[in-house]
Chain A
Amino acid sequence: MDRTRQFEALALPHLNAAYNLARWLLRDEYHAQDVVQEAFLRAFRYFDSFKGGDARPWLMGIVRNTCYSWMRENSRRAEQPLELDEDLENDAYEHGGHQTQNNPETLLMQKHESSRVNAAIERLPAVFRETLMLRELEDMSYEEIAQIAGIPLGTVMSRLSRARRLLREILTEVIKED
């Protein structure tokens, strides 16, 4: 099997996950396609340095980095990745303990509102958006997300809880706006 076929066999099964990540980060289908193509080409160039094992975190890491380079170069259209105060997650659970009635999740679940949930996630800063979608939509482990984003395991957990708290706040606003 030649190199191109080997690469395709390894990389193409993750094309949808790669596209989903780029689409959520860039919030535009055409830019997402361009950036994913660029990322796969980069991955192919580094293919010899791939040591084997699971290709998904390796490839998704390249896709993520290509997305961020794109965002930096087009910063007028997309936000910069934020510098975060990771300690802020400490109060993430403080608001726990409400009853489930009339909370935004229940209301939105009943109303089948995909577009509102999507819009709310799109309002999250990029680093929270990526952590949330890798975890909830791609079912990735904390370890895998840490590898893709190049951050410690603890940071993945704090970003995820911060993402959930922020999303909850945004969803509450969305409900009020009704």
Chain B
Amino acid sequence: MPTHQDFELESLVKAKATRFTAPSELSKKIGIAIRQEDLISAALKKTIRRTVWPQWFNLGLSFAFGLLLSVGLLRIYPMSNDQEVLSQEIVSGHVRSLMAGHLADVASSDQHTVKPWFTGKLDFSPPVQDLKAEGFALSGGRLDYVDKHPVAALVYQRRLHTINVFVWPSESNPSQDMKPLSRQGFNLVNWKDAGMQFWAVSDLAADELKTFAQLMQQVAAKPAS
């Protein structure tokens, strides 16, 4: 049974404790985030949607639709087949690293621990920078295998999100601007810089991943400390 004191305490808390209200930009941010999410899931659903037409018609229709979709997609994303396969490999690598709980061979937030770890394991030295001050904390690195190469995978954390950055030497172009894309709900950014190619992949929002990629490029441009 509540006592007189309980009522007093209740009125004190009600009268004096702060009711925090959400900053106005929060609802805008949420609106943007769910619309991005909606676009991704709608695109995925479209490819598996079925109609109630007879089977032969359905087959013909889906063939025509598939053709149309791939032509349309190719026009929107003029991407070579190689790039398509590669982006799929990157997403698989990211998902596998999270599923197997094998995110890092060297778990450290110190760039001076992570970078030397790769020496002797790879025939190149990936640029490693902690971006903790910018909100992307380095959490480690591991070896991975992408596109028939042993590659360096750098792991960063942003809030509850994990970012994998796959790095290996670029055989063709020494540099290339950032290319954002999304696969299975994951966002990817691909760029080439100073003879290396970079693939960043995460479930982080596309604009945040882009910010991350820009930061990586900026610090890579500075001489290493």
Interface residues of A (CB under 8 A from B): 2-4, 7-8, 11-12, 15-16, 18-20, 23-24, 29, 32-38, 40-41, 44-45, 66, 69-70, 73, 93, 95-98, 100, 103, 105-106, 108-109, 112-114, 117-118, 121, 132-133, 136-137, 161, 164, 167-168
Given A37-B29, A40-B30, answer yes or no on A20-B12 (Cβ-Cβ < 8 Å). Answer: no
Any A CB within 8 A of the CB of B9:
yes
By the criterion CB–CB under 8 Å, are A34 and B33 in contact? no
A103 touches which of B5, B23, B159 (Cβ 8 Å): B5
Known: A44-B38, A118-B16. 10 other contacts (CB 8 A): A12-B30, A20-B19, A32-B20, A100-B8, A103-B5, A109-B12, A114-B17, A114-B18, A136-B14, A167-B9
Interface on chain B toward A: helix, strand, loop, or mixed SS? helix
Contacts of B29 in A (CB 8 A): 33, 37
Interface contact tally, CB-CB below 8 A: 123
We find that the number of chain B residues with CB closer than 8 angstroms to chain A is 34
Given A20-B21, A106-B8, A121-B17, answer yes or no on A96-B33 (Cβ-Cβ < 8 Å). Answer: no
A117 touches which of B3, B8, B13 (Cβ 8 Å): B13
B17 touches which of A29, A69, A133 (Cβ 8 Å): A133
CB distance from B211 to the nearest CB of A (A): 14
Interface residues of B in 1-41 (CB under 8 A from A): 1, 3-6, 8-23, 26-27, 29-31, 33-35, 37-38, 41
